[in-house]
Amino acid sequence: MKIGLVGFPGSGKTTVFNALTGLDADTGYGGAKPGTKNLGVVRVPDPRVDALAGLYSPKKTTYAEITFCDIAGGTGSRELDRSVLNSMREMDAICQVLCAFDSPTATEPADPGRELSDLQIETVLADLEIVERLAHRLRKDRSDPQLLKLLERILEHLENEQPVRSLGLDANERKAVSGYQFLSLKPLLLVLNVAEDAVAEEPAPELVAAAAAAGSGLVPLSAQVEMDIAQMPAADRSEFYEELGLGEPASHRFVRAAFGLLRLATMLTAGPDECRAWPVRMGSTAPVAAGKIHSDIERGFIRAEVTRWDDLVELGSEAKCREAGKLRVEGRDYVVQDGDVCHFRFNV
Ligand SMILES: Nc1nc2c(ncn2[C@@H]2O[C@H](COP(=O)(O)OP(=O)(O)O)[C@@H](O)[C@H]2O)c(=O)[nH]1
Ligand SMILES: [Mg+2]
């Protein structure tokens, strides 16, 4: 899964990137050329995988991963470079960093609400351009009246300056337009980058409301503090988190919010070879989830043997779970639940 960090210059994208990845990309004003990208991969911490690994002592333990892409935004203060919009299309989700700290070099006070609406307008206009062109073509050649009807609904919403995300498309409608990579339909997570001394404060109610209206989640954090701690030796970090009353690294809070926003559930597999977390879309049936592991398993799917991860850890083995009636045999219609440990039977 790939999440793009975007925002206006100086909002703190690269600082957030460093905080999330523990890397050391260059921060500061005016440095990065538009379209420059930093890439970093973060392991999703998961105590369920740890517990299963404790049980099986597997040769390999694999966590889910998120790739972060810090996309530099351009030089004007309220404009994004075209290359940024193009890079955003390649992402599974967008994280906009909103500046809420008063920076010594800024000429105006921080206005995160305005940054949110400015970027929203840019993505809405970019989508509008595509939808107008498509709708025009479909009106002319009359090849797909059903798609045209859907596009006209989207067009009207965009003309009202609303993101496609808030239109409430159903699963089939989303599928019908998924190839167009609408920017304003991509899941959006907002990071509110606050001053060091404001971490404990609740975000302003107007901003919370604006985030909700945009169909997005809001995670407040102080990027500078989090970056400084993330770059310390691991052994020193927890002391600082406690001292600052932060409890846990921002990356943990961020990753949880991102999973919820992307509507991902974690399927687990466990055994002496490997214990592993697999992110699957919520609502995935057993064969579809199995296809994440290998397309052969999806194709030859016979059944899934499912235990809950905590039952398995408590009872100690699949055999014990079977005896205790805690191992279920599920067919191809079964919808995989977050925290299911699945063992698939399949024909090759
Ligand atoms: N005081 C303070 N400064 C920050 C914070 N986050 C970023 N900065 C500073 O703001 C400047 C711009 O940050 P940077 O991450 O390079 O922004 P980008 O242009 O969005 O990548 C840098 O000098 C950072 O050190 C923060 O939470 N508090
Ligand atoms: Mg930067």
Kindly report the pTM of this predicted structure.
Answer: 0.86
The bound ligand whose nearest atom lies closest to the alpha carbon of 15 is: 1
Helices (H), 66-111: 82-89
Residue with tokens 């989508």: 127
Query: How far does residue 74's CA lie from ligand 2's centre (Å)?
Result: 10
State pLDDT tens for residues 187-198. 999 999 999 888
Atom of ligand 1 nearest to the CA of 26: 16
State pLDDT tens for residues 282-341. 889 999 999 999 999 999 999 999 999 999 999 999 999 999 999 999 999 999 999 999
The bound ligand whose nearest atom lies closest to the alpha carbon of 36 is: 2
Query: How would you write 193-224 as a 3-class SS string?
Result: EECHHHCCCCCCHHHHHHHHHCCCEEEEECHH
Query: How far does residue 246's CA lie from ligand 1's centre (Å)?
Result: 19
Report how far residue 121's alpha carbon sits from residue 295's, in angstroms, rounded to the nearest whole number.
40
pLDDT number for residue 198: 84
Residue 249 near residue 237 (C-beta atoms within 8 A): yes
The bound ligand whose nearest atom lies closest to the alpha carbon of 33 is: 2
Residue 13 near residue 7 (C-beta atoms within 8 A): yes
**Residue numbers in the chain where pLDDT is lower than 70:** 29-31, 74-79
Atom of ligand 1 nearest to the CA of 193: 27
* Best mutation site among 71, 224, 228, 246 for ligand 1 pocket (most ligand atoms within 8 Å of CB): 224
Neighbours of ion ligand 2 (CB under 5 A): 13-14, 32
Report how far residue 18's alpha carbon sits from residue 16's, in angstroms, rounded to the nearest whole number.
5
The fold for domain 2-47+64-110+186-261 equals Rossmann fold (3.40.50)
- Residues paired with residue 4 on neighbouring β-strands, in sequence order: 69, 94
- Residues paired with residue 344 on neighbouring β-strands, in sequence order: 304
Q: Whose CA is nearest to atom 7 of ligand 1?
A: 12
Report how far residue 131's alpha carbon sits from residue 182's, in angstroms, rounded to the nearest whole number.
9
- Nearest C-alpha neighbor of 92 from the set 5, 177, 3, 191: 3
State pLDDT tens for residues 246-276. 778 888 888 888 888 888 899 999 999 999 9
Residue 303 near residue 330 (C-beta atoms within 8 A): yes
> How far is CA 330 from each of CA 131, 291, 295, 306, rounded to the nearest angstrom?
42, 16, 19, 7
Q: Where are the domains of the chain?
A: 2-47+64-110+186-261, 120-184, 283-346
How many CB atoms neighbour CB 5 within 10 A? 27
How many CB atoms neighbour CB 226 within 10 A? 25
When computed from its CA atoms, the radius of gyration of the chain, rounded to whole angstroms, is: 23
Atom of ligand 1 nearest to the CA of 7: 20
CATH architecture designation of domain 120-184: Orthogonal Bundle (1.10)
Ligand 1 neighbours by CB, cut-off 6 Å? 7, 9-15, 27-29, 101, 103, 193, 195, 222-224
Region 283-346: CATH code: 3.10.20.30
